A and B are shown apart, each in its own frame.
Chain A
Amino acid sequence: MDVVYSVIPAGVLSQIFVGLSRTTILFIVASGLTLILGVLRIPNVAHGSLYMIGAFTAFSVAKLSGGGSTGFWTAVAIAPLAVAAISFIAERGMFQFLYEREHLMLLLLTFAFSLVFGDLVKLVWGSEYKSVPVPPVFQGFIPLFGGLPFPLYNLFLLVAGPVVAILLWLLTNRTKMGKIARAAAVDREMVGAVGINVSRVFATVFVIGCYLAGLGGVLVAPTVSVTLGMDHNLIIEAFLIVIIGGLGNIWGALLGALIFGLTQSLGILIWPKFGIIFPYLAVVVVLLFRPTGLLKSTW
């Protein structure tokens, strides 16, 4: 470990790990966004709102089920499902009638949803800050590379990210449903022509994507203060990640999230006040050289 220290200073190392935990959240949310973009071609502005609803629902569920570890795990199980249910109603009730219309209309419809969701959250939970406690299992710190304290919960996030990535990869590449969805992303008319119910495939993908937004919201809840407006910045970040990764590419979302999370956390070391601009600069640099993202887009 001394070798690691001699190469990388402790502060940088700890920021890298902070960045990686942030990457996990960003990846989970962005992968849902990119899934919906790739298959349905909907730039889902309401994705951030679903993430926020996930976090607020996690707060309520954890509180109702008695808090502690049980509360946390119940929230992880239930809150994303609640978000998925909401998105299912929205998809069947509205989106499915607009697939033939242009992207702009779909984008505006999702924006309308994000406005409505934002106010509904305000209506249900009020505008005060909410905090979800870190479950007792993950409280405390573990020493990292010779004494550097690292929150146990963040370690959990570091494990959760790759797990979600692998599950998603299995879903899209190893199941029939995933293969159909990928085919529909390339040529939806052809998929319909061979007798597959495209509308149902779209609904499923939409719901899975939104489930991921909810999951991201639940997982982020113990590390931040859950508040109105937490959706506004996240959705922009998720869009950027999806763009630099390549629209519709799940590994692209992972790569984009890595670039974003790391430049964000390391940028703060370089220029504390304006650390926020580094991820954006990274995006500009990427797009100057590869206008359609780093990895292959499904578009």
Chain B
Amino acid sequence: MSRETVLWLAGGIVVLLLCPVFLPRFYVYLVSLILLYGLLATSLNLVLGYGGIFQFHHAVFYGIGAYGTTLVLTKTGLPPLFAFIAGPLISAAFGLVLGVICIRLSKLYFGMLQISLGSLVWAIVYRWYSFTGGDDGIHGIPLPELLSSPKSAYYFTLMITLVSLFVLWRIIRSPFGSVLQGIRDNSVRSEMIGINVRRHQLLALVLAGFFAGIAGTLFVVVDNTVFPDMLFWTLSLEIVIMCLLGGWFTFLGPMLGAAVIVALRTFVSTYTDYWALVLGVVMMLVIFFLPNGILGYVEEKLKKGLIEPEIKEQ
């Protein structure tokens, strides 16, 4: 990382830390949502952008994390800390189960089977009134005193998101991350040089599930509710769009994409009921004109700017 990047990051974190001081309550809530959706999209990008795995139903892990935390909080007498750890772990375990079933299939087959099995989970959550609250979901989840104010929920979300992003960054920069990208670029060659492709992919799926579960738990903290739409497949494709919009070969791209989509959704929804229409049109524009996403586009421009002077010197 260059000195400049570090300064930008530090500046960004300071701004985020000061948010609750000068922003009204609603915007603090909005920034919390952006942070947790950004974490969700970044966790998807670990497998989608860096791993090249067609994880089409990522929302299921997000939902399971949220429901896991909620159910432990409401149905058992265990301490809240345990619930917050249990949510992501259940998600990760589910990532393993779904991964083992799906991983034998290649790209598109994998994605479609995952959408299908994820929808099964949705159907169960949607119908099981006595346990998950059915289509009503669960509202007014009891949180520990420490997290009950919007401000403290915000700081909690910010802290967990930053730590998670840092860990994800380290994972991508680790030898494991390099192997994962190698598998994405050429899985046959990776297999030939002795890499266990499936095991690496499976580990990536479990990790992605874990961090998606964290995002789900954060949603419980921020919004105090869970509902079955959190694991509906349309949300999954929305998360894919966040990755694509921000730039899915960049680390912070998904976070940027999440910020744009969440902000846009909030503002469009105040004017019209037709948010899906707007999102659809935005998606079409991105697919046609920004295939590498915003950050990918910026990076491309910057590189061009760097290379051109060198040519002139010659």
Contact = CB atoms under 8 A, between A and B. Distances in A.
A112 B280 contact: yes
Contacts of A247: 108-109
B241 interface: yes
Nearest to B285: A112
B233 A236 contact: yes
B237 A108 contact: yes
Contact of A243 (B54, B112, B119): B112
Contacts of A43: 108, 111-112
A68 B249 CA distance: 57
A115 B124 contact: no
A166 B270 CA distance: 51
Interface in A241-299: 242-243, 247, 273-274, 276-277, 280, 283-284, 287-288, 291-292
Interface residues of A, number: 42
A105 interface: yes
A103 B127 contact: no
B287 A98 contact: yes
B249 to A, nearest CB: 13
Given A277-B123, A291-B105, A240 B116 contact: yes
B29 to A, nearest CB: 25
A276 B277 contact: no
Contacts of B104: 291
Interface string B73-112: 0000000000000000000000000000100110111011
A291 B100 CA distance: 12
Interface string B257-282: 00000000000000001101101110
A276 B126 CA distance: 11
B99 to A, nearest CB: 14
Given A111-B237, A236-B115, A239-B116, A287 B280 contact: no
A80 interface: no
A236 B280 contact: no
Interface of A: 43, 45, 94, 97-98, 101, 103-105, 107-109, 111-116, 118-120, 122-123, 232-233, 236, 239-240, 242-243, 247, 273-274, 276-277, 280, 283-284, 287-288, 291-292
21 contacts: A43-B108, A43-B112, A45-B237, A94-B284, A97-B288, A103-B108, A107-B108, A108-B237, A108-B287, A111-B234, A112-B281, A115-B279, A116-B280, A119-B280, A120-B277, A123-B274, A240-B116, A280-B119, A280-B120, A283-B113, A287-B101
Interface of B: 54, 56, 101, 104-105, 107-109, 111-113, 115-117, 119-120, 123-124, 127-128, 232-234, 237, 240-241, 244, 273-274, 276-277, 279-281, 283-284, 287-288, 291
Q: Pick the 3 closest A-B CB pairs, nearest first.
A: A115-B280, A112-B283, A119-B277
